[in-house]
Chains A and B, each alone.
Chain A
Amino acid sequence: MVDVTDKAKKYRDVAYYPGCALEGTGNGYDVSTRAIAKELDLKLTDVKDWNCCGAMEVKNIDPKIQTYLSARVLSQAVNVNKQDVVMAPCNGCYHNLKKAEYDLAHDPKSQEVVANLSSKSGHKNYEAGQAETIHALDWLKATVGEEGLRKRTKGKLAGLKVANYYGCMYVRPRHIFPEKDKGPGSESTSKPHFMDDLLAAAGAENVEFPLKTACCGGAHTLSDSDTSTKLVLNILQAAEASGADVIATECPTCHSGLEMHQVRAEKRFGKKTNVKVMYFTQILGLALGIGPRKLGIHTNISDGMELITEKRLLP
């Protein structure tokens, strides 16, 4: 078991796995994560020649191919980058890498399929335990930490009311996250709080938000849009009812889902909501004095500029 100070050091230099979403619709998440890393002097080295982790789709064709895709990413990090910590900000990537890790540690059939596909593909096999996968939340919590943020931001987010939304893949299913639910200091799968902790340290006021781990219907954003719109609307309305100015997200699928279906709910169901949606890295970036354009806030669908000016969050 790595103790807290070890992690603080270890996570300062990690392999970075952006994934497809962060190079496409979730670009604001990528830009703001890199901007924070630069500001805090944390080293991110992209996983060399990475591939898609399988997102939420490949498992429905065959779960073991998804395991292989994720295992190849880990293999690249270990054998090409020569690194043993992989940081993935996208919940989908993070979830799939964790799931591959779990399956490769527990399921002989998965080991066999992955070893076989790896050898046919001509790259080294990945074996469970060779690398540790962490989320951007773990990364910031361990490195700059709450104490560091308190010092650096001097409560810059004061007056900003935030609903912290974590979604599904960061917490479920529980068994693929063996480090969670370990009592004080660890993350909780039923009431996650790492994002709340970081934003509170930067001065934000976290509202009581009951739908932290509700589902946005991201898997069916386009294939069953009405279901997604209903689920998203529920989340947006709950956030507004709890008094939030902005919903902080930590997943590109959730983020785009909330933003797209906020528009769709208005167009198709006549339900308008005004709450803004921003990546938690964008909000933390503002707290650290980085400008909104450098954080890709202008690439979000919901226009947060007015709120940023009103809350005096410009550098």
Chain B
Amino acid sequence: MPIHEKSLIRPENIKTKENLIVEGIDVSGHWSTFIESRAVTDYNEELQEEIGALPGGEFIHRCWQCGSCTNACTVHAIEPRFNPRYWIYLIRMGYESELVRDKDIIWQCVSCNKCTYACPRDVVPEGVMKATAHWLELKGYTEKSPSTIFDEEFSRQIIARGKIEDTEVLHKFLHKTKQPLMQDWLVTIGRNIAMRLPVKWGLKMMWAQVFKPKTKDWAKSRKAIEDYIIEQDAHHRHALKLDAPKSKATAHQPKLHAAE
């Protein structure tokens, strides 16, 4: 299957003058079409090292650009701009500005690992996607993606109590992403189940919401994990030279040790 990734000439670089007369000859309209030249001067020579320093990005240097990852990719099949091979290329080239153009779709990787299965070089492209999405947030290029908000809420519960409770995850996630709880499809699902469920089940679910599931003797694990996260976060910031925290970047620090 051919992969049409992008055209070499971007539409915004094609210029046409509506009114133009050159040496007495009227070349208005498409007679005057020309392509704006551009030279790349803003390479970030450290880009590969930066991504490689974040979890999942460790093996990016192995890539030999065969394209098997993109060819196998689940998301690529429904969103052709989603292209792991191309992004790995940009990262290895240090082409930061070009990578940032796709900042709003990179987080959409569904972690199906079809790429990892197909990759002949053990790059683990799935990990690279996560590292890249993480990098975009740390650098302040994007707000936290809905996926990150979900991951953080989910992890916060696990770290705090050792277990999660489905309805709390759903509730908090919808709240944090400013979505209504009463969405048509969720309401239908709720109604379908409620109609058939025995009362006992409803009581059980209410019980779980009040007395959240917990793992016994979890306090020490919680502390150990929280300390580890703080330590790792400092490492990542250092690798990305974010040591002097910029106001924009601090907003992205994971808040997993929130009070509970």
Chain A residues with a Cβ under 8 A of chain B: 20-21, 23-25, 49-52, 54-65, 68-69, 72, 113, 116-117, 120-122, 168, 171-174, 189, 214-215, 217-220, 222-224, 227-228, 230-231, 259-260, 263-264, 267-268, 298-299, 301, 303
Q: Which residue of B lies closest to A221 (CB)?
A: B150
Q: Tell me whether B56 and A63 are in contact (CB under 8 A).
A: yes
Q: Tell me whether B78 and A62 are in contact (CB under 8 A).
A: no
Give the contact-size bracket for chain B: 35 or more
Query: Would you list 25 pairs from A and B whose C-beta atoms are within 8 A, ordered by A residue?
Result: A21-B166, A24-B166, A49-B216, A50-B215, A51-B218, A52-B164, A55-B164, A59-B55, A60-B134, A60-B151, A61-B254, A65-B155, A65-B159, A72-B221, A117-B225, A174-B117, A219-B110, A220-B146, A222-B150, A223-B147, A224-B108, A227-B108, A263-B188, A264-B185, A268-B185
B148 at the interface (CB under 8 A from A): yes
B193 at the interface (CB under 8 A from A): yes
Q: How far is the CA of A215 from the CA of B77 in the complex (A)?
A: 11
Q: Which residue of B lies closest to A65 (CB)?
A: B225
Q: Which residue of B lies closest to A55 (CB)?
A: B154
Q: State the total of A-B contacts with C-beta under 8 angstroms.
A: 172
For chain B, residues 223 to 251, give those with C-beta under 8 angstroms from any C-beta of chain A: 223-225, 227-229, 232
Q: Which residue of A lies closest to B213 (CB)?
A: A23
For chain B, residues 28 to 81, give those with C-beta under 8 angstroms from any C-beta of chain A: 55-56, 74-75, 78-79
Q: How far is the CA of A256 from the CA of B39 in the complex (A)?
A: 50
A20 contacts which of B184, B201, B213, B221 (Cβ < 8 Å)?
B213
Shortest beta-carbon distance, B168 to chain A, in Å? 10
Shortest beta-carbon distance, A55 to chain B, in Å? 7
- Of listed B130, B185, B201, B228, residue having the most chain A CB within 10 A: B185
Q: Which chain B residues lie closer than 8 Å to A174 at the CB level?
A: 117
Q: How far is the CA of A65 from the CA of B221 in the complex (A)?
A: 11
Q: How far is the CA of A8 from the CA of B184 in the complex (A)?
A: 48
Q: Which residue of A lies closest to B119 (CB)?
A: A173
Q: How far is the CA of A72 from the CA of B220 in the complex (A)?
A: 13
Shortest beta-carbon distance, A19 to chain B, in Å? 9
Q: Tell me whether A299 and B155 are in contact (CB under 8 A).
A: no
